[in-house]
Amino acid sequence: MVPVAVGRMLKERLTSGALSPDLGPEELAHAIDEVQAACANARTEKLINMRDYTEAQLATKLSQDGYSPSAVRTAVARAVRIGLVDNLRYGDVLIRSKMAAGWGQVRIAQKLKQVGISPESIPGWPDAYFERDSEAERAYALLAHKRLTGKNDYPKLVRHLANKGFSLSVCVDAAKRRLAAAEEDC
C-alpha cells in the first residue's frame, strides 16, 4: 500500500512516458521508492510550512500518511540536515511559551517528553530556565489573584499549582504565602 500522492505521481510518470509500463518487479519497486522519497520530502515541506514539528512528530505524521519507514527516515533526516526541523529550537520555544502560560517545570518536562524531546537534551535544562526563586515567584503570582472563599483554600491553591506543573514544595510555599498575605489584608 502506498500513499495517494505516490500513486498519483506514478500514474503521472506512466502517462507522461517518464516511466515505461513494461517495468519488471525490481524496476517498479525502485521507481516506487524513488517517487515515495520525493513525495515524503514534499509532504514534509508542506507540513512544516503550516507549523513547527519535532523529529518524532514529523516521523509519526509521515508514517500515518502511509510512507514506508525508509522514506520516513530519509525525509526526516533531510529536514534535520537542511534545518527545517530542530528539536533544540522547538524545545526552547516550547519551554519559553509554556513558562509564559504559567506552566511549571514538571508539566513542561512532561510536555517535552510527549513531543519526543528528552528534557536533558536541551542545553541548560532546567537551570537556565528555572531558578528556585523565580519559580516560587511565578507560582505566587498565579495565586495572587485567586479568590479565597475561606473554605478549603489551602488544598485548592496547592492543587491549582500542582495542575500547572509546579513541584510540591513550590506549591506548598506559594499557597502558605498567599494565605498569609490574605490574613494580613484582613
Quick: pLDDT tens for 142-163.
999 899 998 999 999 999 999 9
Do residues 129 and 95 make contact, with C-beta atoms less than 8 angstroms apart? yes
Domain ranges in the chain? 4-85, 86-125, 131-186
Q: Which stretches of the chain are DSSP H helices?
A: 4-16, 25-50, 55-64, 69-81, 87-100, 105-114, 132-144, 153-164, 168-185
| Top-level class of domain 4-85 | mainly alpha
6-10, 102-106, 123-127, 139-143: range with lowest mean pLDDT: 6-10
31-35, 60-64, 140-144, 164-168: range with lowest mean pLDDT: 31-35
pLDDT digits (tens, 9 = 90+) for 82-112: 999 999 999 999 999 999 998 999 999 999 9
Do residues 122 and 105 make contact, with C-beta atoms less than 8 angstroms apart? no
Spatial separation of the C-alpha atoms in residues 12 and 32, rounded to whole Å: 13
pLDDT digits (tens, 9 = 90+) for 36-74: 999 999 999 999 999 999 999 999 999 999 999 999 999
Report CA-CA distances (Å) from 160 to 58, 94, 168, 175, 177.
Answer: 33, 21, 11, 10, 15
